[in-house]
Amino acid sequence: MKLLKIFITLTSLVLALLFLSQNMDAVNIDLVFAQYENVKVAFIMVGALAVGILIGYGVAVAIILSNKAEIRSLRTNNRRISDELNDLRNVAIDEGIYDLDDGEE
């Protein structure tokens, strides 16, 4: 399975490089805060990919950390409840409960 993932990754990388080599035209970019002239389309595509990877990585890390915190909280709660249940199981039964109401023993 690992070899299949590596093969698919390398194949997609080669296809992306072929696609980028076909798009070597220069364009002008006008952003709200800056203007760039004669920027190659390949650089724009790689930059957009890098920004997307960084945002995806940041979101994934945030989700993983929040899930680990929730798991830690649930384990602590489970341990507390298990201890309470064990304490309740081990409580000595009061012998006075079984006494008859009329005082006979």
| Residues 13-43: tens digit of each pLDDT | 888 888 877 877 888 888 888 898 988 888 8
Residue type, 6: I
Q: Where are the alpha helices (DSSP H) in 1-105?
A: 2-22, 41-89
In this prediction, residue 60 carries a pLDDT of 92
Rounded to an integer, the average pLDDT of 36-53 is 86
Q: pLDDT band for position 94 (50/70/90)? A: low
CA dist., res. 14 & res. 82, Å (int): 55
